[in-house]
Amino acid sequence: MSAGSAEFSLPIRVYIEDTDAGGIVYYVNYLKYFERARTEFMRSLGYDKAALPEEDLMFVVSKASLQYRDPARLDELLEVTAQVISVGGATLTFVQSVNRAGECLVDGEVVIALVSTLTGRPRRLPTALRDRIGV
Protein backbone atom coordinates (compact mmCIF):
# COMPACT_ATOMS: atom_id res chain seq x y z
CA MET A 1 0.00 0.00 0.00
CA SER A 2 1.36 3.43 -0.82
CA ALA A 3 1.54 6.18 1.73
CA GLY A 4 2.46 9.81 1.53
CA SER A 5 3.15 10.98 5.05
CA ALA A 6 4.50 14.45 5.57
CA GLU A 7 8.27 14.77 5.60
CA PHE A 8 9.66 14.91 9.13
CA SER A 9 12.83 16.93 9.74
CA LEU A 10 15.29 16.81 12.65
CA PRO A 11 18.21 19.21 13.14
CA ILE A 12 21.48 17.55 14.14
CA ARG A 13 24.86 19.07 14.97
CA VAL A 14 28.01 17.15 14.01
CA TYR A 15 30.08 16.44 17.13
CA ILE A 16 33.66 15.18 17.41
CA GLU A 17 32.50 11.63 18.22
CA ASP A 18 30.69 11.54 14.85
CA THR A 19 33.86 12.15 12.87
CA ASP A 20 37.05 10.41 11.80
CA ALA A 21 40.55 11.81 12.37
CA GLY A 22 40.03 14.25 9.48
CA GLY A 23 36.87 15.82 10.96
CA ILE A 24 34.59 14.14 8.40
CA VAL A 25 31.47 12.26 9.52
CA TYR A 26 32.25 8.54 9.60
CA TYR A 27 30.03 6.76 7.06
CA VAL A 28 28.13 4.53 9.51
CA ASN A 29 27.02 7.54 11.56
CA TYR A 30 24.63 8.56 8.79
CA LEU A 31 22.66 5.40 9.66
CA LYS A 32 22.55 6.64 13.27
CA TYR A 33 21.24 10.01 12.06
CA PHE A 34 18.57 8.20 10.02
CA GLU A 35 17.62 6.18 13.13
CA ARG A 36 17.27 9.32 15.24
CA ALA A 37 14.99 10.93 12.66
CA ARG A 38 12.77 7.83 12.40
CA THR A 39 12.59 7.59 16.20
CA GLU A 40 11.59 11.26 16.53
CA PHE A 41 9.08 10.83 13.70
CA MET A 42 7.45 7.96 15.63
CA ARG A 43 7.54 10.09 18.80
CA SER A 44 5.69 12.86 16.90
CA LEU A 45 2.95 10.28 16.20
CA GLY A 46 2.62 9.51 19.91
CA TYR A 47 4.94 6.49 20.13
CA ASP A 48 7.54 7.36 22.75
CA LYS A 49 9.79 4.44 21.91
CA ALA A 50 10.93 2.75 18.73
CA ALA A 51 8.95 -0.25 19.92
CA LEU A 52 5.56 -1.18 21.33
CA PRO A 53 6.74 -3.02 24.46
CA GLU A 54 3.26 -3.18 26.00
CA GLU A 55 2.28 -5.35 23.05
CA ASP A 56 5.60 -7.29 22.94
CA LEU A 57 6.44 -5.70 19.58
CA MET A 58 9.53 -3.93 18.26
CA PHE A 59 10.74 -2.42 15.02
CA VAL A 60 13.85 -3.79 13.30
CA VAL A 61 15.60 -2.56 10.19
CA SER A 62 15.18 -5.17 7.47
CA LYS A 63 16.81 -3.23 4.61
CA ALA A 64 18.90 -0.08 4.21
CA SER A 65 20.32 1.49 1.07
CA LEU A 66 22.32 4.74 1.15
CA GLN A 67 23.90 6.97 -1.48
CA TYR A 68 26.78 9.10 -0.20
CA ARG A 69 27.10 12.34 -2.16
CA ASP A 70 29.21 14.78 -0.13
CA PRO A 71 30.69 14.55 3.39
CA ALA A 72 29.48 16.40 6.45
CA ARG A 73 32.12 17.90 8.72
CA LEU A 74 32.70 18.67 12.37
CA ASP A 75 30.38 21.30 13.89
CA GLU A 76 28.09 21.58 10.86
CA LEU A 77 24.35 21.85 11.40
CA LEU A 78 22.45 19.24 9.41
CA GLU A 79 18.79 18.46 8.73
CA VAL A 80 17.85 14.79 8.70
CA THR A 81 14.55 13.89 7.07
CA ALA A 82 12.27 10.88 7.26
CA GLN A 83 9.13 10.23 5.23
CA VAL A 84 7.03 7.08 4.98
CA ILE A 85 6.58 6.25 1.32
CA SER A 86 5.12 2.76 1.57
CA VAL A 87 3.25 0.67 4.13
CA GLY A 88 3.06 -3.12 4.01
CA GLY A 89 1.39 -5.60 6.32
CA ALA A 90 4.29 -5.55 8.77
CA THR A 91 6.63 -2.94 7.23
CA LEU A 92 7.17 0.77 6.81
CA THR A 93 9.43 2.04 4.03
CA PHE A 94 11.09 5.38 4.64
CA VAL A 95 12.92 7.67 2.26
CA GLN A 96 15.51 9.63 4.22
CA SER A 97 18.19 12.23 3.69
CA VAL A 98 20.88 14.23 5.45
CA ASN A 99 21.07 17.81 4.20
CA ARG A 100 23.32 20.81 4.81
CA ALA A 101 21.86 24.22 3.92
CA GLY A 102 19.53 22.61 1.38
CA GLU A 103 22.24 20.41 -0.20
CA CYS A 104 21.67 16.65 -0.02
CA LEU A 105 24.74 14.92 1.44
CA VAL A 106 23.31 11.42 1.86
CA ASP A 107 19.99 9.91 0.89
CA GLY A 108 18.51 6.49 1.01
CA GLU A 109 15.69 4.13 1.73
CA VAL A 110 15.15 2.19 4.96
CA VAL A 111 12.59 -0.55 5.52
CA ILE A 112 11.60 -1.33 9.09
CA ALA A 113 9.57 -4.37 10.08
CA LEU A 114 7.39 -4.88 13.13
CA VAL A 115 8.26 -8.15 14.89
CA SER A 116 7.32 -9.98 18.06
CA THR A 117 9.87 -9.49 20.85
CA LEU A 118 9.11 -13.07 21.93
CA THR A 119 9.50 -14.91 18.61
CA GLY A 120 11.18 -12.44 16.24
CA ARG A 121 8.45 -13.19 13.68
CA PRO A 122 6.75 -10.39 11.69
CA ARG A 123 3.53 -8.94 13.09
CA ARG A 124 0.90 -6.80 11.38
CA LEU A 125 1.10 -3.07 11.96
CA PRO A 126 -1.57 -1.95 14.46
CA THR A 127 -4.52 -0.07 12.99
CA ALA A 128 -3.83 2.88 15.32
CA LEU A 129 -0.33 3.25 13.87
CA ARG A 130 -1.62 3.02 10.31
CA ASP A 131 -4.21 5.69 11.11
CA ARG A 132 -1.61 8.06 12.59
CA ILE A 133 0.60 7.69 9.52
CA GLY A 134 -2.44 8.43 7.38
CA VAL A 135 -2.91 5.12 5.62
Please give the angle made by the CA atoms of 118, 83 and 92, to the nearest 5 degrees: 30
For residue 39, which of 92, 108, 116, 106 has the smallest C-alpha distance? 92
Spatial separation of the C-alpha atoms in residues 135 and 120, rounded to whole Å: 25
Q: Cα(31)–Cα(34) distance, rounded to whole angstroms? A: 5
3-class secondary-structure state, position 63: strand
Q: Is 46 left (phi over 0), alpha (psi -120 to 50) or beta?
A: left
Q: Is 107 a catalytic residue?
A: no
> Which is catalytic among the residues 18, 20, 75, 107?
20
55 SS3 class: helix
Question: Among all residues, which ones are annotated catalytic?
Answer: 20
